[in-house]
Amino acid sequence: MRFRDSLIASSQSHASRIVLALDVTGPTDTRLARAAALLSKLSGGVAGVKVNFHLLLPRGLEGIAEVARICSDNALPLIADIKLNDIESTNLDAVEQLFSKGVDAVIANPFAGFDDGLAKPIHRARELGKGVLLLVYMSHAGAKEGYSLKVEREPLYLEFARRVRDWDVDGAIVSSKSLETISQVRKIIGRERLIISPGVGTQGGDGAKAVKAGTDFAIVGRSIIDAAEPLKTLQDFNRSIPPP
């Protein structure tokens, strides 16, 4: 089973399109315990989980072992949001290390290119039944300064969408705030690959509108994990976004 199939299966099992971003802040020695407690409480209502440098830098790969265990126990795919963007030998070592610690997919930056960049990591992920998601359009205000740069009269993100299709990776990361971009990317990559959209909630994205435009999954982090009642907030998001 490929990663995209496991995420779809988890979504259907948990009746949710939400990928929970455990972007926990605060004192570094408390982050892991808080992340694990949140995940234990919320695991029954999300499709997958995403961790990034908020946990990986202060705690390292060994530090996310508890998060990986909870994900495994609840059949929740775990995504490492590291925006992989280096030479091939470094990229390959990074994915080997992450996959060995229970990570199911990595987010990579297509700027690195295929030859001597992402080719071997993509092939290795496929061998292991793991996933690669390409960063096509980010959700912060400055994204347009890079991803919308015109290359031969078209925005760069369209070329990145074609790389999702041509490199046969599991899907694309596309901002929930860019509905036209979501629709354009969907036309290029077809229905065989996923669109996962960050920026829902705190950054102003609307999950329901993103799904209507073509998104499969909405990444939600701070709006849930920093809420006074995280479980109730998650349930509200699940009600507002069309079910899988």
Going by pLDDT thresholds of 50, 70 and 90, the confidence category of residue 64 is confident
pLDDT of residue 77: 98
At 66-77, the pLDDT tens digits run 899 999 999 999
At 230-242, the pLDDT tens digits run 999 999 999 999 9
Q: Which domains does the chain have, with CATH numbers?
A: 3-235 (3.20.20.70)
pLDDT of residue 144: 57
Residue 10 has pLDDT above 60, yes or no: yes
Q: Which residues contact 81 (CB under 8 A, 6 or more apart)?
A: 21, 50, 51, 52, 53, 107
Tokens at 151, concatenated? 């290359």
3-state secondary structure of 47: coil
pLDDT of residue 151: 66
Instruction: Compute CA 46 distance to the chain's CA centroid, rounded to the nearest angstrom.
Output: 13
Decide: 47 and 244 in contact? Cβ < 8 Å. Answer: yes
Task: List the one residue out of 178, 225, 208 whose CA is nearest residue 50.
Answer: 225
At 118-146, the pLDDT tens digits run 999 999 999 999 999 999 976 555 545 45
Active site residues: 83
pLDDT of residue 145: 47
The rounded percent of the chain whose pLDDT value lies above 90 is: 81
